[in-house]
Structure 1
Amino acid sequence: MKKRIVRSIGLVFAILFVMVLASVFTLKDIPNEIYTSKENVQSISVFKQNNPLNTVKYDGKNINIEFMGLFSLKKVEVHKIKDLEVYPGGDSIGVRLSSSGVLVVGFSDVIINGEKSGSPAKNGGIIVGDFIMKVNGNTVLTSKEVGREIEKSNSDKVKLTIDRKGEVLEKEIKGIKEGDKYKIGLWVRDSAAGVGTMTFYDKKTNKFGALGHPITDGDTNEIFRSRKGDLYEASIISLRKGEKGNPGELKGIFMDEDKPVGEIEKNTECGIFGNGKMKDKENISKPMKVGFREEVKVGKAKIITTISGNEPKEYEIEIMKKLDQDTPGPKSMIIKVTDEELLKQTGGIIQGMSGSPIIQDGKLIGAVTHVLINKPDTGYGIYIDWMLKDAGIIG
């Protein structure tokens, strides 16, 4: 009898455990914060898509999700933001970033008197992706400064202070002398530049957001860590049409490299952000209301982008699927280009279009970020929520 009772109790607890796990699993993609312009919070998706076993309560600031009203599973902070307007982008921009430290991107053999020796830097424990902060105790900001400090070393022991993913390390490299200079077999980079698309500009704060994804280093594939950067007006001079397995590309030029239009302060998972006074925006376009992720729906939409010269145009797309995200990132929705003119000219989404605003029901809801390599007419977009937060326009 006792064994039967114990088995029954065990079975009840096992069932409850499975039910709790199932409830927790349904919450995995719900973010910790939700932005909405809706007055009726109960109409947002957290209430509509919730597991029937969970109870959802709103206390005026947070949504509390509880298992059968017994204990809390998740708390979601709700930010009500009404009537937020920004100027939509779509125009091409030039970007130039200077790195925070000097980035190690590769190694080279050192050849002295016809004899090849492996890279002393690599042998000394330096790896691709390290940032060199100091050489022999002297701060370096550029590739030239790194080379100069190594060459003038007084001994074959070259001391490097590096930053490896936030950890500061000291490495002593045994240099190889050629003539009166030392070499350690290192390839480094101190800057990155390219062309992309502006997403939005906020007249009230002078803040802007662009790209919708981070600028990464082509050799390390890591987010390019910058200490400063400038934004320039750009003009598209040519393009390569995208094809299956071969993404296309917009090619542009900086209009005036002596007159940046903005200062880049952040390079994040969601794009580049900073400050600038872009009065041209106020003259050629009108501010547009923002539509947060709760308002985005599968169906027809438009993008604003520039594929020739410096004049943005609207093109038809379709939002194929909304993706759940609990953390910020550039893959929030799957989009497909349906506009015949754009398909004819570009094949769909091509490099340089990243940051192109996505418009639905007259509201700015996101930006183009990536193309699918084997489906050039299809790619990803980012929810505008993530970009506005990284820009510092919403909290």
Structure 2
Amino acid sequence: MPRYRKLFYFALLLIILIYSVQMLNIANFPSEIDIIKGDSRNLNIFFPFSLEIMEDSIDIVRLQDSSKMGLNVGLKNSYKLESTNNGIAKLKFKLLGIFSIKNIKVNVVDQTYVVPGGEAIGVKLNTKGVLVVATSEISGIDGKIYNPAKKAGIKVGDSITTINGIKIKDAEHVIQLLNNIKSNKVKIEIERNNVSFVTEVLPVKSKQDNSYRLGIWVRDKTAGIGTLTFYEPKTKKFGALGHAITDADTGTLMKVENGEIMRAKVSSIEQGKKGSPGELRGMFFETEDVLGKIENNTAFGIYGIIYDYNKILKQKKTMPIGFQSEVKIGKAHILANIDGDNIEKYEVELIKMEKQNVPQSKSMVIKVTDSRLIEKTGGIVQGMSGSPIIQNGKIIGAVTHVFVNDPTKGYGIYIEWMLKEAGVLVNNNSEFAEGK
């Protein structure tokens, strides 16, 4: 094969490779990005692709050197995206300046300020209805063995919300209703994986105590220690933990009927070791020092309203948030309460971060570098979940999980996901995108 032909095929292969890589990069580019009003973002796009602002968005964002919004003949096109007004702007990736291949929505928002947490809080959660944690057989008064719940299709992890249309309050309420209904069939409303359905069950009179039973073990509440992440003064909303409260036996996310957060004091620490996560142990009194109510328990933390933030936050100042685009590999610090009610700043290092287009809990990996924290706790322990992560004067996230095999490392979640979950950070109203 002539040398020029080899060079031709090599060049063609190189072009195809570069093109494929760029197509993959564009495919993975977020379909929606947030940017603070007045801030800018640098975007590098390689030939044969270009970036263009939709006509109805020119009053919201602009690209530096707008004459290059079409086809560029340079191998690398560097754009500076500048935000000028609040609203929703639309950008478009183009191939050869002609073919549209992907649309991007840019939310231009005002800078959001929140009060950083770090305080240990007591968490008391009452479930929506009752959570089925186990099923069991029943010895009936006739000497036979029954399993009515299993026969009716009730599974571990289901939430029972009503019996014969009556809303369930707690586990005792279930027993009371069954013994009033006795041996008649009952209609039970089940919630499973956010879907509700009704099944019929025939209760069985137990030989053990002459009570009518379904053959289930249920749970209606839980309590523990966690860490407050943020408080937003305008809405009085708070976020904490950074992950869901789940049932200890089933791992099921517990649906909230109502709940409260309370002032807590750390009393002791079980150090984290390889293969054995540590734990903060604390005290709180359910009838005293109630700070606020829990409204939602989600995969990204618990959220609600604080009644009087001065009771716990002691006139702390607000701090701006940092979007994931502002997060950098390198030094940061967390705020944590590991002794009494004292909050300290501890140095950490961000060693990995993920580009996330949709909310996910494992946004970044952090490593504790502060010798004081390692000496006291071994690193990250249970109860520290929710500790705010701060970098360059901005809250960028919260601690969520510890690495079981290395307690000096753990996961963090981007703060923007928590703020959106809390309803503090929302997309602009579509009317702004039209310049109204």
List runs of 5+ in structure 1 lacking aligned partners: 1-11
Task: Summarize the alignment of residues 163-178 of structure 1 with structure 2, pairs less than 5 Å apart.
Answer: 163-178=191-206
Distance 1:68 1:309 in 2: 63
TM-superposed deviation, 1:371: 0.8
Residues 1:273 and 1:174: Cα distance change in structure 2 (over 3 Å): same
Give 1:324 deviation, angstroms: 1.2
Q: How far apart are 1:132 and its partner, in Å?
A: 1.1
User: Aligned to 1:80, what secondary structure does the other structure show?
Assistant: strand
SS in 2 for 1:26: helix
- Cα displacement (A) at 1:247: 0.6
Task: Compare CA radii of gyration and give the structure with the larger one.
Answer: 2
Matched, 1:131 2:159: yes
Aligned residues of 1:102 and 1:189 also touching (Cα < 8 A): yes
Aligned to 2:253: 223
Q: Return the alpha-carbon distance in structure 1 between the equivalents of residues 171 and 140 of structure 2.
A: 22
Q: Check if 1:93 corresponds to 2:117.
A: no
Most deviating of 247-256 and 311-320: 247-256
- Which range moved further: 373-382 or 250-259? 250-259
Question: Quick one: which of 264, 283, 291 aligns to 2:322?
Answer: 291
Aligned pairs (5 A) from 1:190-209: 190-209=220-239
Contact 2:272 2:407 in 1 (8 A): yes
Instruction: Map 1:1-395 onto structure 2 (within 5 A).
Output: 23=22, 25-27=24-26, 29-37=28-36, 39-43=38-42, 47-48=43-44, 52-58=47-53, 59=57, 60=61, 61-112=89-140, 117-178=145-206, 180-255=210-285, 257-276=287-306, 277-280=308-311, 283-395=314-426
| Structure 1 residue 254: Cα displacement | 1.5
Q: Which residue matches 2:75?
A: none
More displaced stretch, 240-249 vs 279-288: 279-288
Q: What stretches of structure 2 of length at least 5 have no aligned partner?
A: 1-11, 62-88, 427-436
Deviates more, 1:264-273 or 1:311-320: 264-273
Query: So what's the TM-score if we normalise by structure 2?
Result: 0.79
CA displacement, residues 314-356 of structure 1 (integer Å, 9 cap, x when unaligned): 0010000111111112111110001111111111111110110
DSSP-derived class of the 2:126 partner: strand
SS in 1 for 2:401: strand
Partner of 2:74: none
Query: Partner residue of 1:3?
Result: none
Give secondary structure in 1 for the equivalent of 2:349.
Answer: strand
Check 1:63–1:283 CA distance in 2 against 1; reply closer, same or farther (3 A cut): same
Two-structure CA RMSD over aligned residues (Å): 2.6
What secondary structure is seen at the aligned counterpart in 2 of 1:341? Answer: helix
**Closer, same or farther: CA 281–146 of 1 in aligned 2, 3 Å:** closer
Q: Say whether the 8 Å CA contact 2:121–2:228 is kept in structure 1.
A: yes
Q: Contact conserved, 2:133 with 2:157, CA < 8 A, in 1?
A: yes
Query: How far is the alpha carbon of 1:116 from its aligned partner?
Result: 7.2
- Sequence identity of aligned pairs in percent? 42
- C-alpha distance in structure 2 between counterparts of 1:122 and 1:115, whole Å: 19
CA gap of 1:57–1:272, structure 2 versus 1, over 3 A, is farther
Kindly indicate whether the alpha-carbon contact (under 8 Å) linking 1:88 and 1:288 is maintained by their aligned counterparts in 2: yes
Q: Residue 146 of structure 2 contacts residue 204 of structure 2 at CA under 8 Å; is this kept in 1?
A: no
**Contact 1:160–1:173 under 8 Å retained in 2:** yes
Q: Following the alignment from structure 1 to structure 2, what is the Cα–Cα distance between the partners of residues 334 and 220? A: 27
8 Å CA contact 2:242, 2:400 repeated in 1 = yes
Residues 75-134 of structure 1, C-alpha deviation per residue, up to 9 Å, x if partnerless? 332233344321110000111222222211111222346967353211221111222122
Alpha-carbon distance, 1:37 to partner: 2.8
How big is the shift at 1:306? Answer: 0.6
SS at 2:242's partner residue?
coil
SS in 1 for 2:264: strand
Report if aligned partners of 1:233, 1:256 keep a CA contact under 8 Å in 2.
no
Over 6 Å off, 4+ runs: 18-21
SS of residue paired to 1:121: helix
